[in-house]
Amino acid sequence: AATTTGDITVQTSTSAVSDSGDLSVQTGSSKTGGGEITITSGSASSGRGGAISMTVGKSDLGAGSDITMAAGASADAAGGEISITGGASDTKVTGAVTVETAAGVAGSLDSGDMTLRTGATTATSASSSGDMSVLSGDSKSTAGSVSITSGSSSGARGGAISMTVGKSDLGAGSD
């Protein structure tokens, strides 16, 4: 009996002299609702479910290319959300979520910066920019800690930690 089902590979041809071809997967436009795109790997009853990997190819000359995820905009309602959640577990620890820039390797410069911020609303005076929260989950046992730590340095200064409340041009400043 076969142990695996057949693989399916969809790819454009390689090129030694120019760009390889683009690959687009999209649903059509609609008056009432555009079609959805679902990417799901297979489940397994006695092993690990299939992984999903999204990787941009390495660039030998020039900057590496980007991965961009953008939720849908709306003309008359709230924009779409982006949610990234670690996997649930029936009996063990749920999956972790790690967001990090790549470590520097020999011959490279700094590791990349990381920015977490809500969008600005400077184009209108009628709305506030979004709040940002850093919190650990509630627990019946020991709740998770929140730790803010700057990097150590073996040859120069360790990273600083700075907390600044934004300036208010009208009204009292926040605490």
pLDDT at 64 (0 to 100): 87
pTM: 0.71
- Alpha carbons 112 and 71: distance in angstroms, whole number: 24
The letter for the amino acid at 100 is E
Q: How far apart are CA 132 and CA 32, in angstroms?
A: 33
**Residue of 148, 136, 58, 150 lying closest to 97 (CA atoms):** 136
Q: Which residues contact 106 (CB under 8 A, 6 or more apart)?
A: none
Instruction: Give the closest residue to 56 by CA, choosing from 8, 7, 23, 87.
Output: 23
Tens digit of each residue's pLDDT (9 = 90 or more) over 12-31: 888 888 888 888 888 988 88
pLDDT at 175: 67
Regions of the chain where pLDDT drops below 70:
1-2, 126, 171, 173, 175
pLDDT at residue number 147:
92
